[in-house]
């Protein structure tokens, strides 16, 4: 019996910890990191998608649900699941998502906050002119076929090699800015062509460029290691692989739906899959990695244009990178399952990898603190910088990526008038620039859960620790 046909509710295991035990076709349980308040607003579609993910072949341990989870396509947003590396394991394009490699990059500046306040409108206008945004936002960069291939193979390293950034940026980027194993040959011509005119663009939806101020420090030692201080001006970029990643997902979701093994139907068409050992599975893995490199190169290029803009306005300023982390990925990793170390392919959709201090894959740069975890909020509230904690072992070394939607985009448009939203943000001291006030309403604060409560919940479970809270001053939207 399909889990959809059963009245399934999570059972409390501990404070902020819940479990859905296997029923019907579920192969493993679902472990949910959430407060009682967050559980109370979790919709039935999210529950269904979690239990469907737990019904896939080769799934190991348990399916993990982050406190910011909400329904999506395939996996819900905020879902983590690991699959066995052997012949029983699978990979699902719907378990990674359409915006492959979408993530957040945070830059730190030495610009006095008073100067940013005084020139807020000028800064907002300059960034809005410099950074293409929106569905029709077109890049200033012209790329030929060979350059596109290089970007898909090299990621952010390509941008740095071509003068767009500094080598230190790569040290402060997940995978050092380049995901190994990418193969542009597995990316369709249409997907590659969609990168033309899109490298260095924000896109639309929940993507943004924010100028922020650090309004509180919660871990002084970690903040000092990260280079954070109260009243510091920071810059956060939330974007992904644009049309290229979307087309990769579209191509392979369709291919997986058409090539499911005989006698092994997907529990839901949105979670069509391919065996990891199959030709289709290997090709998607290589294409997905190329999509991740596209996203890393995109954020690197945007960061370069942001730096150029600030240097024109503040010629003596210094801008360094804190970190860049993606949250729609699949990684080959080792995890302890029922007391045994196992090689898994971990799908994270709307969740970031969170490696604590001492983890073998972390590297020396953040070993003293744990990996930075960048949690994006809605444009009218706040964002958080966390660091991974040892409790993340229980979440397959994963943490939440944001606040999580509370209302659908259609519901938000019905409840929020664009003009009143713009007025409210202006009254709150936030300068917003957008190509579409109508679409801005979809991203109104009322459409999202309380990011402070979501962050409190994540940290209370032990998967991360608070380092700093950031408040928006300027927001550029598509």
Q: DSSP letter at 267?
A: S
218 is in an annotated binding site: no
324 is in an annotated binding site: no
403 is in an annotated binding site: yes
Q: Residue 265 has which token pair? A: 């139907």
Selection from 282, 267, 89, 271 nearest residue 185 by Cα: 282
* Helix, strand, coil shares, percent, the chain, to 5: 35, 25, 35
State the residue for tokens 């991360």: 464
State the residue for tokens 């939440």: 400
| Torsion region of 137: left, alpha or beta (phi above 0 gives left; psi -120 to 50 gives alpha) | beta
Q: Residue 365 has which token pair? A: 């740069």
376 is in an annotated binding site: yes
378 is in an annotated binding site: yes
Find the distance separating the first CA and the last CA of the chain, reported in whole Å. 43
CB 324, CB 301: distance < 8 Å: no
How many alpha carbons lie under 13 Å from residue 317 in its C-beta half-sphere?
24
Angle at which helix 120-130 crosses helix 279-313, to 10 degrees, equals: 140
316 is in an annotated binding site: no
CA distances from 391 to 31, 334, 345, 362, 460 (A): 14, 16, 20, 15, 10
Which residues does 330 contact at the CB level (< 8 Å), separation at least 6?
Answer: 91, 95, 96, 285, 288, 345, 346, 347, 348
401 is in an annotated binding site: yes
201 — phi, psi (to 5°)?
-125, 150
Which residues does 409 contact at the CB level (< 8 Å), separation at least 6?
Answer: 442, 447
Q: Quick one: how many helices (H) and strands (E) in the chain?
A: 15, 19
State the residue for tokens 């909400």: 70
238 is in an annotated binding site: yes
404 is in an annotated binding site: yes
383 is in an annotated binding site: yes
99 is in an annotated binding site: yes
240 is in an annotated binding site: no
Catalytic residue among 401, 427, 435, 453: 401
Strands of 56-163 (E only): list them: 59-70, 77-84, 90-91, 103-109
172 is catalytic: no
Query: Which H/E stretch holds residue 432?
Result: strand 431-434
210 is in an annotated binding site: yes
Active-site positions read 401
The binding site comprises 99, 206-210, 238, 327-328, 376-379, 383, 401-404, 477
Which residues are annotated binding-site positions for GMP?
206-210, 327-328, 376-379, 383, 401-404, 477
Please state the residue numbers annotated as binding site for Mn(2+): 99, 207, 238, 327
């Amino acid at each position: 019996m399909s889990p959809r046909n059963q009245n399934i509710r999570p059972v409390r295991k501990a404070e902020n910890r819940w479990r859905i035990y296997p029923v019907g076709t579920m192969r493993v349980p679902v472990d949910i990191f959430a407060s009682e308040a967050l559980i109370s607003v979790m919709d039935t579609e999210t529950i269904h998608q979690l239990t469907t993910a737990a019904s896939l072949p080769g799934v190991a341990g348990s399916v993990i649900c982050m406190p910011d989870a909400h329904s999506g396509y395939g996996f819900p947003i905020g879902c983590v699941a690991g699959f066995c590396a052997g012949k029983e394991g699978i990979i699902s394009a719907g378990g990674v998502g359409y915006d492959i490699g979408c993530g957040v990059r945070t830059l730190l500046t030495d610009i006095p906050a008073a100067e940013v306040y005084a020139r807020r409108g000028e800064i907002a206008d300059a960034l809005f002119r410099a950074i293409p945004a929106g569905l029709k936002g077109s890049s200033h960069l012209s790329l030929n076929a060979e350059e596109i291939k290089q970007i898909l193979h090299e990621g952010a390293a390509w941008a740095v090699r071509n003068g767009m950034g500094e080598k230190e940026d790569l040290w402060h980027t997940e995978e050092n800015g380049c995901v190994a194993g990418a193969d542009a040959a597995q990316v369709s011509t249409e997907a590659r062509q969609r990168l033309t005119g899109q490298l260095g663009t924000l896109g639309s939806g929940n993507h943004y460029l924010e100028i922020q101020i650090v309004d509180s420090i919660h871990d002084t030692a970690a903040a000092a290691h990260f280079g954070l201080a109260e009243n510091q001006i920071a810059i956060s970029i939330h974007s992904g692989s644009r049309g290229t990643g979307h087309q990769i997902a579209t191509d392979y979701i369709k291919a997986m739906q058409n090539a499911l093994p005989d006698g092994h139907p997907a529990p839901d068409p949105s979670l069509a899959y391919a065996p990891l050992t199959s030709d289709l599975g290997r090709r998607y893995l290589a294409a997905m990695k190329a999509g991740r490199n596209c996203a890393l190169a995109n954020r690197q290029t945007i960061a370069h244009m942001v730096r150029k803009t600030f240097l024109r306005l503040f010629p003596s300023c210094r801008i360094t990178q804190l970190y860049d982390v993606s949250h729609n990925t699949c990684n080959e990793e080792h995890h302890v399952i029922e007391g045994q170390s196992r090689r898994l392919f971990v799908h994270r959709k709307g969740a970031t990898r969170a490696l604590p201090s001492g983890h073998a894959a972390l590297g020396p740069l953040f070993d003293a603190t744990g990996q930075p975890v960048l949690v994006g909020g809605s444009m009218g509230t706040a964002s958080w910088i966390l660091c991974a904690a040892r409790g993340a072992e229980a979440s397959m070394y994963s943490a939440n990526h944001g606040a999580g939607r509370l209302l659908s985009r259609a519901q938000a448009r019905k409840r929020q008038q664009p003009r009143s939203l713009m007025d409210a943000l202006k009254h709150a001291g936030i300068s917003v620039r957008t190509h579409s006030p109508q679409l801005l309403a979809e991203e109104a604060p009322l459409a999202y859960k309380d990011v402070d409560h979501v962050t409190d919940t994540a940290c209370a479970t032990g998967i991360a620790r608070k380092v700093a809270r950031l408040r928006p001053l300027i927001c550029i939207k598509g």
